[in-house]
Amino acid sequence: MANQSARAGALPMRGVAQPTRPHVLDLPDVHISRHPVVTHKLTALRDRNTPPPEFYRLVRELGTLLAYEATADLALIPVDIETPLEAMRGERLGGGVGIVPILRAGLGLADGFRQVLPDAQVWHLGLRRDEHTLEPIEYYNQLSRASNLQVCFSVDPMLATGGSAIDALHTLKRYGVPHLRYVGLIGAPYGVLKLRQAHPDVPIYLGAVDDHLDDRGYICPGLGDAGDRQFGTL
């Protein structure tokens, strides 16, 4: 895709074939939320009149909701405890949880995850998208201390072309991080397909799948630039 993108200049997706939404919804291990509260909050998030403070709050709240969905099958181990009334056998998570937000747009989602898993280990991975080629460029990496995890979630609001998500997961695998999952707010069919092809072993959790990418590589109808809208840098 790089050569074609370079020829297209500022319109790297012009003329690129894209899969349909129904096609990617049938892909294995792609989980799209059906929760009405997720749909409700995504609608508010998409609204161009939503100001940055409210936008960030919504991203964080959606991160919390998606965290519950993406952690529904985590392994538990038995543990003996004392309640105020008597002894009992309960269960706790069987291993640590890691969260890797892709900077900077993934920070709000990571905050939402930490509402559910305050003890989670958090590492930051800095990737930016070259606007001409749509290829990810790594500029920050804090993964060397990742260890003792049951599962690690790579979180980023928008799964557009899939480049950043694919590169992030390649990096995590290179560092030996086990049992990876990807969590995002909105995906384009093109990005979902590319991510599934590149990492067929990684489950994908999304709040919604939209219709297509425009010629610039933005998700439509989408919500614009998630990073700029979270941090007021429009």
Residues taking part in catalysis: 129, 133, 225, 228
Task: Show the tokens assigned to 128.
Answer: 């930016």
Q: Are the C-beta atoms of 168 and 146 separated by less than 8 Å?
A: no
Burial 4-34 (b: 16+ CB within 10 A, else e): ebeebeeebbeebeebebeebeebeebebbe
Q: Please check whether residue 98 is in contact with residue 120, taking contact to mean a CB–CB distance below 8 angstroms.
A: yes
106 contacts 230 by C-beta, under 8 angstroms:
no
Cα diameter, the chain = 71
Q: Say if residue 221 is preceded by a cis peptide, omega within 30 of 0.
A: yes
Helix (H) or strand (E) holding 166, with range, is helix 163-174
At 221, give phi and psi (nearest 5°). -75, -25
